Amino acid sequence: MKSAVKNPKRMMPGRSSKKPDAASRLREKIASHTARVGIVGLGYVGLPLATEFANVGFQVTGIDVDERKVKAINDGVSYISDVPSEEVARLVREGLLQATTDYEEIAGLDTVNICVPTPLRKTKDPDMSFILGAVEHIQKHLHPGLMVILESTTYPGTTDELILPRLAETGLEVGRDFFLCFSPERVDPGNQRFNTHNIPKVVGGVTPVCSQLGALFYGQAIETVVPVSSTRVAEMVKLLENTFRSINIGLANEMAQLCDMMKIDVWEVIEAAATKPFGFMPFFPGPGLGGHCIPVDPFYLSWKVKLSGAEARFIELAGQINGAMPRFVANKVQSVLNDRGKAVRNARIHLLGMAYKKDTIDVRESPALDVLALLRGLGARLSYSDPLVPRVEIEGVELRSQPVLEACRRADCVVLLTDHSAFDYGAIARSARRIVDTRNAFRAHRMEKITRL
């Protein structure tokens, strides 16, 4: 891997007496901020990326099939918590940001970033339909000088094996007529310290020229760019990052279960282990994995490995452990109620938090929904509070967020699933009869009625 490049924007094109080729023309446009930037997919990855490039003076066109998102952006309204509506409104007003559902806009663009979802099917194999749909539209409007960059998380080989052959069908040559890269998104919704601008950007191209142009492009808006030797390396980087987290969280979750069996406080164990200044990095247990990355990304690698006749045993085992945590939590709630002589059936159980992580609105793959479904299956009377998620639907039944303290007073048991900053933990501790804390959020409140994982 090459070392990180600070400010690639300074790499200006050289002078030549010959007519500039496609790479030179694109290099000049990027360096002068006259390149017309396109972002396909305006979700948690695409919209923050679009605003970063618009903020440094590029004219950015966002393309999305969701007419509601397109209308919101053109009206100056953000639906992503990390992007203020005021910023979107200003960029739209200045003519630097617009959105459309029309893929024909690609014909007038110089760069296109693909930021569409890549979910897993129920069989745990990758669903490439969103990527293929975007590539099909790009292929129709591919033209000399266009740079295409895939950001959607996927398996190693996707860019070379899936996208390149389709774009090459146009007769244009990669590295000469058009340019193709992969750059893994590293968005962490709700993170107040790291955002799209200051998270280092890894990029690898199909050819060296592609890599150079990709690094130059990102260097205009991103603080640090990390070029790598190929798209496959860049694709594997993201999978390693999230597989590392999945496996270590799986270890923490297994430790929580083992400590529970031996009547040991796992949180105290982790806190004490974290005092070691080397050789240990703390990971924490919880009700399970959620979000669009960690529960999904490792299985892209596992699927690819299986195609080679091998087995990714760590990945599969971590997935099993993490996937079993919602049931472990439901069993813990059942045990707490049993200790008070009450069955789960018809018990009033109030859940705190539906989002998959602290201080976000995102419920994708949220383990809280799994815990809710399991307790509902046991016959519990359920309610929830989440300051950022006003409603959820589970098995055709809609629930709406309730006032926190009032609901906690009525409940036979309160289950903390998402440790939002907005919750008043002291007041909740005083109001609730019993609490099951899956996030160690009540660590400052040592009460007998609080049970931690």
The reply to whether 115 belongs to the active site is no
Q: How far is CA 288 from CA 64, 170, 273, 322, in A?
A: 31, 45, 22, 5
CB–CB of 436/413 below 8 Å?
yes
3-state secondary structure the chain: CCCCEECHHHCCCCCCCCCCCHHHHHHHHHHCCCCEEEEECCCCCHHHHHHHHHHCCCEEEEECCCHHHHHHHHCCCCCCCCCCHHHHHHHHHCCCEEEECCHHHHHHCCEEEECCCCCECCCCCECCHHHHHHHHHHHHCCCCCCEEEECCCCCCCHHHHHHHHHHHCCCCCECCCEEEEECCCCCCCCCCCCCCCCCCEEEEECCHHHHHHHHHHHHCCCCEEEEECCHHHHHHHHHHHHHHHHHHHHHHHHHHHHHHHCCCCHHHHHHHHCCCCCCCCCCCCCCCCCCCCCCCHHHHHHHHHHHCCCCCHHHHHHHHHHHCHHHHHHHHHHHHHHHCCCCCCCCEEEEECCCCCCCCCCCCCCHHHHHHHHHHHCCCEEEEECCCCCEEEECCEEEECCCHHHHHHHCCEEEECCCCCCCCHHHHHHHCCCEEECCCCCCCCCCCCEEEC
| CA nearest to 194, candidates 161, 231, 165, 223 | 223
Which one is catalytic: 115, 293, 408, 413? 293
Q: Give CA–CA dist 39/128, Å, rounded.
A: 18
CB–CB of 23/181 below 8 Å?
no
Dig out the tokens for 264 from the structure. Answer: 């040991």
Enzyme catalytic residues: 293
